[in-house]
Amino acid sequence: MKIMSINCGSSSLKFKLFEMPQEEVITEGQFERIGFKEMGIYKIKFNGTKDEMSLELPDHSVAAKHLLKDLIDRKIIGSLDEIKGVGHRIVQGGKYFSGSCLVNEWVKERITELIDLAPLHNGPHIIGIKAFEEALPNVKQTVVFDTAFHQSMDPESFMYAVPYEWYEKYGIRKYGAHGTSHQYVSQEYARLTNKDIKNLKIVTCHIGNGASLCAIEGGKCKDTSMGLTPLEGIPMGTRSGNIDPTVVSYICQKENKDAWTVVQELNKKSGYLGVSGVSNDARDLEAAYNNGNERAKLALHMQEKRIADYIGSYYVLMKGIDAIVFTAGIGENSASMRRRVLERLDILGVKLDEAKNKERGDSRRISTSDSKVDVWVIPTNEELVIARDTMKLITE
């Protein structure tokens, strides 16, 4: 059975086609610069080859139709009937969704209602769903939410200590993000170590350009570092993470800006980029750090300190930690970041195996056998979770 995983951004559409239940990737790729005046870009990988071309991409619907036609033209599929389900990644599910579900009118209305909470994401997601409804009218579609896994948090974790009416009227609370990734790598950890997730206390560290941590007890999220939006938590590539909100009104006053503009700067011009002035890319920062750039060093150390702070607080919250799992672009690839974070966790009895930490490859343990906390690197695979959930929902 062929299942398509889709992730629509404001000007992009990423796809991965799986053969299920074998979980084999048949093809994958993306459309970029959708809706731009200039030509858009289409990239596809198939059978070990990569192809890239430019084409007019006025909207997501044109991209969806082009993709389906191209799959047939390249004989990747014989006919559209082979695609049995399309699963969409949705960033914000608010209070409505604690799991994946089939798309219907009510689901689309709720995702639309939540656009205010995730304007850069939920809008494009709805456009993507409609594009595939149009292109594949007889195929079931599903939605998989980044926030769903975090719906198990207790109120004391998800509430902000602000006027309660803000929560009642506007849904102001912590929703978290990267839920699919946190759930996947925690389950993978249990599978790879032959342990029952019900007995485990795990901290997952999804450290990419966006970055968040999650405290997972018995397979359920107890707390996570991102908040109402992905701005909360640790410093990231371009996001500040936690700051005193008074900074916003102060900068508005000093620089004659409005709050939205300043919040955009906290989202897009802060974090690694803002502190270092070098780049939002961890590789550039590491290189600058190694060349003695003090601000690059500061930017990296600020993030590492906050990661360790969160792990310390989750240790208290769960009364212990069995395992720490690193994932995403930086978490999977940066041995130096992992080392520097883990050095800060000496007090928890964490012991790093330096040689294993430097090895590259797939899922692996990087702690020593006498470490009190098991530390692993596990590549995330959000698209696979989408395909698995989609297969389950359309066959139920």
Q: Of 333, 353, 356, 364, which lies in the binding site for ligand AMP, with binding defined by CB under 6 A?
A: 333
**153/328 with CB nearer ligand AMP:** 328
Interface with ligand AMP by CB under 6 A: which range of 85-93, 218-226, 239-247, 325-333?
325-333
Q: Of 13, 328, 352, 393, which lies in the binding site for ligand AMP, with binding defined by CB under 6 A?
A: 328
146 as an active site residue: the answer is: yes
Q: What are phi and psi of 54, to 5 degrees?
A: -105, 145
Please answer whether residues 2 and 19 qualify as being in contact, where contact means their C-beta atoms are separated by less than 8 angstroms: yes
Q: What residues contact 6, with CB distance under 8 A and at least 6 apart? A: 13, 14, 15, 86, 87, 88, 89, 128, 132, 386
205 binds ligand AMP (CB under 6 A): no
Closest CB 240 distance from ligand AMP, rounded Å: 16
Task: Name the token pair of 30.
Answer: 């993306």
**85/176 with CB nearer ligand AMP:** 176
Closest CB 264 distance from ligand AMP, rounded Å: 19
Give the Cα separation of 269 and 282 in Å (integer): 15
The count of other CB atoms within 10 Å of the CB of residue 379 is 16
Please answer whether residues 182 and 214 qualify as being in contact, where contact means their C-beta atoms are separated by less than 8 angstroms: yes
Give the Cα separation of 93 and 144 in Å (integer): 9
Please answer whether residues 189 and 376 qualify as being in contact, where contact means their C-beta atoms are separated by less than 8 angstroms: yes
329 binds ligand AMP (CB under 6 A): yes
Q: What residues contact 286, with CB distance under 8 A and at least 6 apart? A: 296, 300, 334, 336, 337
282 binds ligand AMP (CB under 6 A): yes
**85/208 with CB nearer ligand AMP:** 208
- Catalytic residue selected from 146, 223, 322, 374: 146
28 binds ligand AMP (CB under 6 A): no
Closest CB 63 distance from ligand AMP, rounded Å: 21
283 binds ligand AMP (CB under 6 A): yes
Q: Of 98, 193, 209, 363, which lies in the binding site for ligand AMP, with binding defined by CB under 6 A?
A: 209
Cα–Cα distance list, 93 to 33, 108, 143, 174 (Å): 26, 11, 9, 12
Cα 11 to the chain's mean position, in Å?
18
Residue 380's nearest CA partner among 212, 241, 206, 260 is 206
Closest CB 208 distance from ligand AMP, rounded Å: 2
271 binds ligand AMP (CB under 6 A): no
Q: Of 61, 276, 334, 367, which lies in the binding site for ligand AMP, with binding defined by CB under 6 A?
A: 334
128 binds ligand AMP (CB under 6 A): no
Task: Give the residue closest to ligand AMP by C-beta.
Answer: 329
Start-to-end Cα distance in the chain: 14
303 binds ligand AMP (CB under 6 A): no
302 binds ligand AMP (CB under 6 A): no
Residue ranges in contact with ligand AMP by CB under 6 A:
208-209, 237, 281-283, 328-330, 333-334
Q: Which residues are catalytic?
A: 146
